[in-house]
Amino acid sequence: MKLPLSLAVLTFSLLVWALTPEEMSAVEQFLSSTKQVGSENGPTNEEIAHDLAAALGLHNSARLLYKYSPDAHAAYDEMYDTLLFIYTGSFTTQAQKKALKPVIQYFEHTLLH
């Protein structure tokens, strides 16, 4: 069975997904923001996850994340799966894996319970 060109391109792009410098910057900003969550004027988990989702092009997750969103857990699940996919990808560099590991751990320990 031959795939339509658009589906073949999408499949190929998913197989080689590694983070761009802009996406790496968003990952670093997310990690920095986690230290401010819960402080008096700090962001919420939904807000920092929204920014990360938007930067990574996860539009469905970004749409579900806003302050005190009742749908946040579904978005966190989707983001977590995507982060694991990127982390285990063969095109992800060691530096990217090092940056992604604490993000994945934050999801596991704080957001996915």
Q: How do the domains of the chain map onto residue ranges?
A: 18-111
pLDDT bucket at 14, cuts 50 / 70 / 90: very low
The token pair at 25 is 């910057």
Quick one: pLDDT at residue 90?
86
Q: Cα separation of 106 and 111, whole Å?
A: 7
Quick one: pLDDT at residue 54?
96
Q: Do 56 and 80 touch, CB atoms closer than 8 A? A: no
pLDDT bucket at 61, cuts 50 / 70 / 90: very high
The closest alpha carbon to 110, from 19, 27, 44, 28, belongs to 44
Q: Cα separation of 63 and 82, whole Å?
A: 16
Tell me: the pLDDT tens digits for 22-51?
Answer: 999 999 999 999 999 999 999 999 999 999
The token pair at 28 is 């670093």
Q: Do 83 and 103 touch, CB atoms closer than 8 A? A: yes
What would you report as the CA-atom Rg of the chain, rounded to the nearest whole angstrom?
15
pTM given for the model: 0.81
